[in-house]
Amino acid sequence: MNSFFPVLVMFATSILVGCSHSDGKLKKATNAKVNPHVLESAIVEPITMNSWQYPMPNFESMDNVGHKKLLFAQYLMPSIERVNKAIVAQRVWVEEMSQKLKSGQTLPEQSITQLNTLAKEYQIDHAKPRDIIAELELRVHPIPAEMVLAQAALESGWGTSRFAKDEFNFFGIRCFKIGCGVKANQANGNFYVRSFDSPLDSVTAYANALNTHLNYVEFRNVRRQLHQDNHNDVTQLIAALEGYAEHSEYQKLVARVVRQNQQIFEQVIRQV
């Protein structure tokens, strides 16, 4: 297999929390035309466009709630798919390197360089290739699309929050350097709501945080166990999202969004 692997953009460590919703000036045009094939009956046409390259629809102007949810999922899903595919490609490469070491082979210099690049991206401090690979196998893993969609919907009010509209921040991601984002209304503490250039950047930062931040060690451990058991249970993963938000019922809220919008999410995921 070609030794090249996609490397996701490295973002500064961020803590993901809920953000308040309010009006704001749109960062980009929001008068995108509604797909006439997106029907109230939740029939989803194949998604072919790269949503991060097009203006975000004006979700706030949509009176039909079901229609808004469907279009929101269609808008974000291409970014989610692209990020997850890049992570999967990285994981395949890591597993190949792991098998080489287990079989007694010595990794070539090029592979060591790539391994160190991944270690930096996933914030791993180990020096030995075997230790780096062991930690990468825990961290390099895609995030279930339905969970991503549910958190994005909950954090952004289905794309209607000013941070989603103005800053492409769909996940309530905070940052702490001057100029990295905007101040939330009545925010307590020295932090900003992070600004992004596209939904793709927002999804990438979200996935990177879940795969690297200390707050989500338990999430990664549960995910590894589910993977080893060949058991795909998104509800168990959601239950392990300790530290994502200050709301005591946050995991239950995310699980409820997944459950209540399961049909829409599943149809949109299948169409990508």
**Domains of the chain and CATH, by start:** 51-168+198-271 (1.10.530.10)
For the chain, report the end-to-end CA distance as a whole number of angstroms: 26
pLDDT of residue 17: 38
d(CA 248, CA 240): 13
pTM over 0.85? The answer is: no
Residue carrying structure tokens 């080489």: 100
pLDDT of residue 185: 74
Please state, for a pLDDT cut of 90, what percent of the chain lies above it: 69
Report whether 140 contacts 118 (CB < 8 A). Answer: yes
Report whether 119 contacts 136 (CB < 8 A). Answer: yes
74 or 188: whose pLDDT is higher? 74
| Nearest residue to 224 (alpha-carbon basis) of 235, 237, 241 | 237
Residue carrying structure tokens 């690049």: 117
d(CA 243, CA 246): 7
pLDDT tens column, 150-185? 999 999 999 999 999 999 999 999 998 988 999 877
CB contact burial 223-262 (16+ within 10 A = b; e otherwise): beebeeeeeeebeebbbbbebbbeeeebbeebbebbeebe
Which residues lie across from 173 on neighbouring strands? 16
Query: What is the token pair recorded at 259?
Result: 């459950």
Average confidence (pLDDT) over 72-91: 96
| Nearest residue to 165 (alpha-carbon basis) of 59, 92, 272, 63 | 59
Using the predicted structure, report yes or no on whether residue 187 has a pLDDT greater than 70: no
pLDDT of residue 237: 96
48 or 239: whose pLDDT is higher? 239
pLDDT of residue 178: 87
What is the total residue count of the chain?
Answer: 272
Using the predicted structure, report yes or no on whether residue 189 has a pLDDT greater than 90: no
pLDDT of residue 25: 30
Residue 126, Cβ neighbours under 10 Å: how many? Answer: 13
Query: What is the token pair recorded at 74?
Result: 């269609």
Q: In which element (H, E) is residue 181 found?
A: strand 181-182
pLDDT of residue 1: 40
49 or 220: whose pLDDT is higher? 220
Average confidence (pLDDT) over 59-86: 96
List of residues 6+ apart from 94 with CB closer than 8 A: 118, 133, 136, 137, 140
d(CA 194, CA 182): 7
Average confidence (pLDDT) over 22-43: 33
Query: What is the token pair recorded at 112?
Result: 């060591």
Please state, for a pLDDT cut of 70, what percent of the chain lies above it: 79
pLDDT tens column, 82-127? 999 999 999 999 999 999 999 999 999 999 999 999 999 999 998 8
**How high does pLDDT run on average in the chain?**
83
